[in-house]
Amino acid sequence: MLEKLIGTEGINFLRSQIKTNRTQPPDLFVYKDKKFFFVEVKGPRDKLQENQKGFFSGIEKYFKTEIVLLTLVPIS
């Protein structure tokens, strides 16, 4: 399904960026019909690393979409 939405070139872009930035892609790929975006999930003490910031910026530009940062907080 992913290849159908972002194409072979999109997958190749992600693979090359993973190697270049030495980091993983965002945690989630969310889609409905032909619209999609990415989600990066962080715990309460986690933060984006510098290599993630550069990678994610490139993803947003390449796919013309956003990466949503979802920070989980404990319920007390």
The per-residue pLDDT for range 16-74, each reduced to its tens digit, is: 999 988 889 999 999 999 899 999 999 999 999 999 999 999 999 999 999 999 999 98
For residue 17, what are the domain limits? Answer: 2-71
> What is the model's pLDDT at position 38?
97
Looking at residue 14, its pLDDT comes to 94
In-domain check, residue 51:
yes
pTM of full prediction above 0.85: yes
Task: Tell me how many degrees the CA angle 25-17-70 measures, rounded to the nearest 5.
Answer: 25
**Position 76 in a domain:** no
Number of domains in the chain: 1
11 lies in some domain: yes
Q: Are 3 and 19 in contact (CB under 8 A)?
A: no
> What integer pLDDT is reported at residue 22 of this predicted model?
87
61 within a domain of the structure (yes/no): yes
Residue 42's φ and ψ, nearest 5 degrees, are -130, 150
